[in-house]
Structure 1
């Protein structure tokens, strides 16, 4: 018996081998397939109510799963495939579709969908071309996703939509199979049997039974995840296939596609909050805001924060659907379908939702202006399609329409279906519009100018960001609306070499008033590289910087706008010195050091964007215009080297004279400076006044730079910084940690996740601290730090160059050191040796703690903008350079007039001064900011000066803007 037992024990191994042989044998595999199918039909036919018979439903699910497994396994086997042939010959998919539709069981439905997917993936027997197969599968998909069907789970929904997507992929690759899935059931109206155009044959209304697959995908395009991705991509494939079928093209025109897409986009836009405040998460606050007076804005039930997960989810959903619009237009090769979509986008979304929200926004109701301007900026940043951009900006900026005759000549013949769709849209909108709004009365330009003068800092900030987006990405729309421009004279528009060097040195001199000890050569080199990339990447500069391969093949293609009315290419122009937008930005810059950090960052970005385009001349509004140059009658400057007449002809001599004339430096006249340079100079004067009034100014500035550098290094290396308790935050005073902003008990802490950063910055002995350096050299130092992104490589940098003689730095009264602080201290905590700091009772440690307390008191003090009592840095340039000039005569005459002033007039002047002083006492209190906040703004100001200087240099080399002769 033991022998026979051992033989019986080997039976499972024998049956396993036989199962593998059966899978390899096509005949046995078909017999197994037919057996499973027969059992499936037997259970189904003997079940009276499949929805209530759980056992029968479970058996059917197992049988369907086994059929799908056999088909999937056979697809991997070599030919022949008898099971697939049996399924096609017997049309077993018809009863399987009926079983799934009548079961109301999600598991049976899922297995049936997988069974159909196996047949389609087999790519045999032409299932997708078979009318019976398409009708059966279409009926299944419609029934299981209809209103009366059961609610499917997410996984089953993904399988259903993926199956529909696979079909559209087949249609895209093989357009000839489209008739099996798209059938027009309405009769085409034939009038006298004659048609001018084949498109006119389509005269009926669309119905869902014509193309059920199309409407199935339409129902899922707003979903998230894989379901929405499959639905949107499948719909794109169908729209792309319209270029191969005139009937499908006209059916899509008259379908609900454009209406559903426009209303769906409007619904998603309506879900966005009407009131918004821009905020940053406490644990992810940027260092530039953490080292300032940043306060988290107040949120309520109506006012939503930009950090809210709900807001971010709604915004991402809206932008994803907006990008789907763009993808549809990119894939659509039918001009009629594209025109219909754009028409609905303009009327339903732009005119009915976006523009009214801009018109009804207000700056006093808690952030509605912030919301709509932010939404518009995100829209313009997300879109690249020229037709959608043209529709949005052409309407919101109230650009004039083109001539109708020219428009009609450029458009193709419009079919009757398109005309009917346009008439239906017009009648639908006429019934809804009780009062019409028009951008001709109040457009986006008016809103921008109004918001730039707002008292709400967030409104000003988002408005400037919107301006920067338009200037960066859609500059040709700005030059005829936002900006007041003028033509340029190519003969006198470019500056001379001497004036160019003088203006660059002027900006570098302003930057040197702040000083610093970083490696500014390396910093400025990096800024130059960034500026070069920025200028070359501007859309308008492509034609100027693109290499010309040959003289016959260098013209770039025209702007790909299919809609008329788009602005032409950007012509050479310059900004008017009286441009309102420019002056609004300069008004903001005048309060630079007490402005919020985000406002200053946005304003400086917008000013750079004004000057980046290669077609805009910067002379006249950013730099001096050549027509204002006045040269000294100095024989040394006008003289030129005498050439050898035996070698060089007369023309060469004249050329040398022209070169010498272009090297002359014009007289630096304050009256000839544009307002931009005057504002920058006034800000430098304020820095000088801050140095005189703020104790330990230079030490605190150096600490602030090192704080930025350390913060950037830590944030880049450690994304997840652990946060300590609130008690620990209160115990560690942030204002004493490397010059960070003070922790005010009045407002919530804005440092958040930077507690560890501040602890790193609290080390008193840092490498690179100002250790015994010359105060006068520090005051005349050159350079800046670019948002704390570059760290000095050595404790002491190169000797700082002395500013040129044109720009003397006489900031203080005679006999006073220009950089001495008011406190008179010549040492700092960082200048001591750190060897004795470790002990608690060390005298050095106690001194460090005392100085840290002093620093905190300085940083937390709130001050306003200084009232300048000294002459600006450069206003007395000409008077000091030429004692025999006309300016000196004018001063002498002015002094003589002052001596002849009548005493009565002097008394009246004194009374007027008293009235002004009394008015100042009753005037509202000026804005103030903490010293820590002002130090951060000074760092930004210095970086902006270096960026301006680099931009001027890059433009000079890239666009040949400097005249050498």
Structure 2
């Protein structure tokens, strides 16, 4: 080789030299050792890395180079001399010392990456090596301790991720646990037990040296993001590994894991506001509330709004930690560890925090009842672990304790540790116990009953939501505490086919009597699907809707409860008509139209949840009881002569006779109706009264329905207040009576549509969809849905005579809309007569909606809106509203006057020529009577109609799903 060849062979400009050095194991090790030597030399020559910036930067570069070499080598084929050198020389020991004493975040970060690379190499058994585990443990403890520097979020994530990777390997390979967990309890028991302070022993301070990795993860379980996720999952892996190590299981029982978790949960609960008001952001206010008398509640420094970002963050943090409790119990395979956790959960959180907050709550101090009831509802909605649910409801509902079932034999040492832990907990809490804080004196049942009778509507609303959550998710706890139930024996308590059809028709007739022009067949079909899913998803209905098991199939699993005192399977039962909770809800239903919309939505939701369970019989409290059926004498077929019993056709004749008997419809007598149906009938009569006393009631009702539809289309992601309320805000497009849609599906706005209908009735030309005019639209108040024929539910325009649903309700007759002539004046101009009239009529519309009305008496004199023609020119008619329109206005200036002032003098003059408003009445509504705006009443009317359809679908679906109807 000549001189130039030698020069070129050793020049660093050669592109292949670095790759060759990486491929050559000898050269790679030589480079690695050189970097390590320079790192040690820099560390030894520097007296203080925290102040020597150059030395710290040099060490960081050397650590980074060494980590890159190890990572590259682990991806190459054997041999791996650098990894072997690291294990043989134990270079991780000085590297850990350098990082702990540097107080430099960059060096700490590179050291963590160096250790992570060694572990990921899965060679030389680093995770099983005691020296490696000791060095890494010391590094992690020192850099996260109180005297360490504050680490950045990125470095903190890498530290916790490294600890998580170790727990993952412990979970997969339990034999490496002794390298990370060393119990010193047996060694020090004889020397230090007698001198150890009992409080210090309970706190577990002397056990941190046994398993530092465990406590490192405990410190980060409350963090957000990846840091908290790694810490919580790693801790779950350690607890899961306790099932394969008796020593670890005993250590966890005696450690302060349960204490730290319970006190941490209590601390997060204590951070929640003691006083709360339920509110919605103004920009996200649901349409059903925006179109009502909803007013944003006042929040102060002490009274927090539920839509506050800070409150939402605190609540989500608390619930996430509660779910972590649930995850721990799900991963825990040790009965003693699980029992210790649950015991601390009950004593520290339930008895010391949650129950006292419920006991001390009040609805007169700014919303403390609203707060604690909301928190309890969110807790019950978030959890599904049967032991935690049983512990909460068993204590708060004051259920009787039962003897604990016999357990499998347990390791004596673990059992003794469990007893010592229980005694320590009892001693610790003895000084904090208050004999007056016991559910035996005042429990959750008492709180719910008293809160439902509160004058604070928000308290009533959140109580109904809590009750609905218990009925929906934990119904078996409600039937023995909250509800007064009766046993059901035999199938004679089920309704007959004729009575079933009669009651379904009754509910749909009530819904149809409210009126509307939408496709109710399609709406009802959607409600039927939702109801079916709701019934199938109820926890009590699993055994009823699941396929019948055969001899080759396994039985359904039993309810997985391990704690004593939990209610078992729900028996067939019915709700007593005298149940106090039911009658309290019916009292609220009596004032339906003046209730807040949120209260009505929660009320109807709870009533539906009362009847969803497959084991509850709805006859007697929701529907008529079969024992009270009364039939017409002329339709009695039992008096017909019976065939000879010995004849071959006797059995068949008897079956036909029984089937015909079940097809008969009982007399519809008010005395046989339960209070639920009577109340619904009274509400339908009140709607008829509103229709007769409120001008243009049907038009305003249709406008409101279209407004909900428009809002739902404009905001597709808008969440309704409850799942079934989507029928209130989600209404399909209307179709013409002949079943065809117009060629140009342009829907006018609510105001424009109202103006067109009003001008049509006044004889004024209205805007049409095309120059040729529009088709005549005949409308009817009741019977607009025609027939719910897809389900065999006849809802004719005239209700059946047996139901007598306000037969004097006036029907709206259709009016032909005059076509607009192309030669006429332009309607698009702001100064045109029609445009000004539309604005004036919109003001009249708003004046009607703003009126304050109360619940109508039994007989209400209608207040008609009469129109009389005055001329034949473009500004045709002069209408006068009857003086009775102003009888409900006693609080403020006529809203139409305010609107006309904004329209200007010309439009105001046109409005006066067209529609003359009566003078303002000075008669005010009596203060003892609840009043609400017409707009609020109309929204509640639509909610009622949706509720009636839901009840009809519930009765219909239950009949088929649970075989509740007798056909013979």
Equivalences for 1:393-792 in 2 at 5 Å? 393-403=393-403, 407=405, 415-551=415-551, 553=553, 555-635=555-635, 649-716=649-716, 761-764=750-753, 777-782=780-785
CA 1:701–1:227: 2 relative to 1, 3 Å? same
Q: TM-score, normalised by structure 2?
A: 0.82
For residues 922-960 of structure 1, what are the alpha-carbon distances to aligned partners after superposition, in whole Å with 9 as ceiling and x for unaligned?
974311111111111000100100100000000000111
Deviation at 1:801, TM superposition (A): 4.5
For residues 249-269 of structure 1, what are the alpha-carbon distances to aligned partners after superposition, in whole Å with 9 as ceiling and x for unaligned?
000000010000000000000
Aligned position for 1:818: 810
Inter-partner Cα distance in structure 1 for 2:937 and 2:967: 41
For residues 452-498 of structure 1, what are the alpha-carbon distances to aligned partners after superposition, in whole Å with 9 as ceiling and x for unaligned?
00111110000000000000000000000010000012142100111
Deviation at 1:717, TM superposition (A): 7.3
Unmatched segments (≥5 aa) in structure 1: 192-201, 720-737, 739-757, 786-797, 872-919
Aligned position for 1:196: none
Aligned position for 1:845: 835
Inter-partner Cα distance in structure 1 for 2:438 and 2:27: 76
Inter-partner Cα distance in structure 1 for 2:178 and 2:282: 58
**Secondary structure, counterpart of 1:513 in structure 2:** helix
Inter-partner Cα distance in structure 1 for 2:757 and 2:545: 41
Aligned position for 1:179: 178
Deviation at 1:804, TM superposition (A): 2.5
CA 1:161–1:409: 2 relative to 1, 3 Å? closer
Equivalences for 1:260-339 in 2 at 5 Å? 260-339=260-339
Inter-partner Cα distance in structure 2 for 1:564 and 1:160: 42
CA 1:187–1:551: 2 relative to 1, 3 Å? closer
CA 1:473–1:204: 2 relative to 1, 3 Å? closer
Inter-partner Cα distance in structure 2 for 1:686 and 1:784: 24
Deviation at 1:712, TM superposition (A): 0.3
**Secondary structure, counterpart of 1:486 in structure 2:** strand
Q: Note if 1:143 corresponds to 2:142.
A: yes
Aligned position for 2:79: 80
Inter-partner Cα distance in structure 1 for 2:486 and 2:88: 77
Deviation at 1:74, TM superposition (A): 1.1
For residues 528-553 of structure 1, what are the alpha-carbon distances to aligned partners after superposition, in whole Å with 9 as ceiling and x for unaligned?
11100100110000000000241453
Inter-partner Cα distance in structure 1 for 2:127 and 2:436: 50
**Secondary structure, counterpart of 1:557 in structure 2:** coil
Inter-partner Cα distance in structure 1 for 2:45 and 2:757: 89
Inter-partner Cα distance in structure 2 for 1:624 and 1:504: 12
**Secondary structure, counterpart of 1:778 in structure 2:** coil
Aligned position for 1:43: 42
CA 1:490–1:590: 2 relative to 1, 3 Å? same
Deviation at 1:15, TM superposition (A): 2.8
Inter-partner Cα distance in structure 1 for 2:839 and 2:957: 47
Inter-partner Cα distance in structure 2 for 1:433 and 1:465: 31
Deviation at 1:75, TM superposition (A): 1.4
Deviation at 1:803, TM superposition (A): 2.6
For residues 274-324 of structure 1, what are the alpha-carbon distances to aligned partners after superposition, in whole Å with 9 as ceiling and x for unaligned?
001111111111111111111111000001011101000000100000000
Deviation at 1:513, TM superposition (A): 1.2
Structure 1 stretch displaced more, 350-359 or 839-848 = 839-848
Inter-partner Cα distance in structure 1 for 2:239 and 2:636: 75
Q: Which has the higher contact order (CA 8 A, sep 6+)?
A: 1
Aligned position for 2:848: 858
Inter-partner Cα distance in structure 2 for 1:783 and 1:351: 58
Q: Note if 1:90 corresponds to 2:108.
A: no
For residues 641-664 of structure 1, what are the alpha-carbon distances to aligned partners after superposition, in whole Å with 9 as ceiling and x for unaligned?
999999961011111111111111
**Secondary structure, counterpart of 1:304 in structure 2:** strand
Inter-partner Cα distance in structure 2 for 1:170 and 1:592: 61
For residues 602-655 of structure 1, what are the alpha-carbon distances to aligned partners after superposition, in whole Å with 9 as ceiling and x for unaligned?
000000000000000000000000111111111476688999999961011111
Unmatched segments (≥5 aa) in structure 2: 191-200, 720-730, 732-746, 761-774, 789-793, 862-922
Whether the 8 Å contact between 1:784 and 1:939 is mirrored in structure 2 is no
For residues 707-762 of structure 1, what are the alpha-carbon distances to aligned partners after superposition, in whole Å with 9 as ceiling and x for unaligned?
1111101101799xxxxxxxxxxxxxxxxxx9xxxxxxxxxxxxxxxxxxx99644
CA 1:180–1:640: 2 relative to 1, 3 Å? farther
Aligned position for 1:65: 64
Aligned position for 2:886: none
Inter-partner Cα distance in structure 2 for 1:458 and 1:833: 51
CA 1:677–1:209: 2 relative to 1, 3 Å? same
Deviation at 1:54, TM superposition (A): 1.3
Inter-partner Cα distance in structure 2 for 1:641 and 1:8: 126
CA 1:434–1:870: 2 relative to 1, 3 Å? closer
Aligned residues: 843
Inter-partner Cα distance in structure 2 for 1:930 and 1:665: 41
Give the one of 937, 943, 946 matched to 1:943: 946
After superposition, the CA RMSD in angstroms is 3.2
Give the one of 954, 957, 960 matched to 2:960: 957
**Secondary structure, counterpart of 1:837 in structure 2:** coil
**Secondary structure, counterpart of 1:296 in structure 2:** coil
Whether the 8 Å contact between 1:640 and 1:656 is mirrored in structure 2 is no
For residues 25-67 of structure 1, what are the alpha-carbon distances to aligned partners after superposition, in whole Å with 9 as ceiling and x for unaligned?
1111111100000000111111122222111111111111111
Inter-partner Cα distance in structure 1 for 2:955 and 2:645: 38
